[in-house]
Amino acid sequence: MLQWSHGEKPLLASAS
């Protein structure tokens, strides 16, 4: 699971 500190792809982070 990837942690996105930015507001780029929150959906991808949740899906991963």
pLDDT of residue 14: 61
Task: Classify 13 as helix, strand or coil.
Answer: helix
pLDDT of residue 6: 65
Q: Identify the DSSP state of 12.
A: H
DSSP assignment string, the chain: -----SSS-HHHHHH-
Predicted TM-score (pTM) of this structure: 0.06
pLDDT of residue 2: 65
pLDDT single digits (tens) 1-16: 566 666 666 666 565 5
